Amino acid sequence: MRLLISCQKKLSSSALMQHIERRLHFALDRFSGLVREVKVRVFDENGPKGGADKVVRAVVLLENGEGIRIESRGADLYGTADWLADRLKAAIARACERRKGWRSTRIGREMEWA
């Protein structure tokens, strides 16, 4: 899995970049064989006015050629990146379920063994 992160210069910090990279690796590690590339872009939508206008956008390219795009907005970039990582994990899990044609749930697994 290749991870590319681009950030506006005024928002860029090594701590933020490490946080985004760590959160995405934790969220997407179990899908590493299915994810070809993740591109993340961090920017301030309307400049230094303040408010909930910080955007974290991710585009994921899966091995089967399918693409997933998720965008998160908020005032706090760390919280926005966390939300984005959780949503990406859920979106890729849904794409895997569609691909396999079945849904694995805890109840379903317990019933298989009954």
Q: What is the pLDDT of residues 17-64, one digit of tens each?
A: 999 999 999 999 999 888 999 999 999 887 777 677 889 999 999 988
C-alpha–C-alpha distance, residues 27 and 19, integer Å: 12
Q: For position 114, what pLDDT does the model report?
A: 38
**In which band, very low, low, confident or very high, does the pLDDT at 109 lie, cut at 50, 70 and 90?**
very low
Q: What is the pLDDT of residues 53-70, one digit of tens each?
A: 889 999 999 988 889 999
Compute the mean pLDDT over every residue in the chain, rounded to the nearest whole number.
Answer: 84
Domain that holds residue 28: 2-113
C-alpha–C-alpha distance, residues 84 and 95, integer Å: 16
Q: And the tokens for 41?
A: 């872009």
C-alpha–C-alpha distance, residues 12 and 63, integer Å: 30
> pTM score, two decimals?
0.78
Whether 42 and 74 have beta carbons less than 8 Å apart is answered as: no
Q: How many domains does the chain have?
A: 1
What CATH number is attached to the domain comprising 103? Answer: 3.30.160.100
Q: For position 44, what pLDDT does the model report?
A: 86
